Amino acid sequence: MLEALRKEVCELHAELTRWNLVTWTAGNISARDPATGLVVIKPSGIRYEHLTPDKMVIVDLDGAILEGDLKASSDTASHLYIYRHRPDVNGVVHTHSRYATAFAALGRAIPCVTTGMSDEFGGPIPCGGFALIGGEEIGKIVVETLKDSHSPSCLLQNHGVFATGPTAEAAVKAAVMTEDNAATVWIALQMGTPVPISDENIARLHYRYTNIYGQQEGE
Ligand code: 13P
């Protein structure tokens, strides 16, 4: 079932190690198949280099395992909560990437103080509250934290990053950009107080990046 999506989700996990966003077995990715609504997710606690498409687990939106010999990711219920409450989201990524998680350990949002961050996130990367791992509590916090934000990703206090996207690849990109910006802002904070960008300029930068930058469809 869902052979192409299994392969895609498996290959995207290799991006997390390539970009140094995860250590050992931490982190996970899932993707929702828009046609069937089924979700492909990483098996729990398997080392990244041992992941293969056939080891991915397929679940329905209520968490019933439809295919897979291995236990699904510990964060499955939270990924599914996000999919049930965000019809626009078809990819979810979780990491403990270093700089972003340092902000999360302080319960601090990452302030939007570069044009690159304005482009990608349209404002700060917010930080939600604390939740234990294993149920859908994390998913609830992610949905609530992203509700009034342009950002596709958020931090979870004392935990790490949850990134979302219209596809799993877009969610991986958001996770990569979250860490990249967290590192830049952290360095800036060591040197002094970052210069703020006005809300109006952040909005203009975000608009240009979203609607004009790169190769737009139909051009
Ligand atoms: P899994 O290996 O079960 O996906 O857990 C990794 C993790 O980071 C839990 O938050």
Maximum alpha-carbon separation in the chain: 53
Residue 64 pLDDT exceeds 80: yes
Cα–Cα distance measured from residue 207 to residue 204, given in angstroms and rounded to the nearest whole number = 5
**Is the minimum distance from the CB of 25 to ligand 1 under 6 angstroms?**
yes
Sheet holding 28-32, edge to edge: 65-67, 57-59, 39-41, 28-32, 91-95, 160-165, 153-156, 127-128
Domain edges within the chain: 3-211
**Is the minimum distance from the CB of 124 to ligand 1 under 6 angstroms?**
no
In 3-state terms, what secondary structure has residue 112? Answer: coil
Whether the pTM exceeds 0.85: the reply is: yes
Write out pLDDT tens, residues 129-184. 999 999 999 999 999 999 999 999 999 999 999 999 999 999 999 999 999 999 99
**Is the minimum distance from the CB of 23 to ligand 1 under 6 angstroms?**
no
Tell me the average pLDDT across 67-76.
Answer: 98
CATH class of 3-211: alpha beta
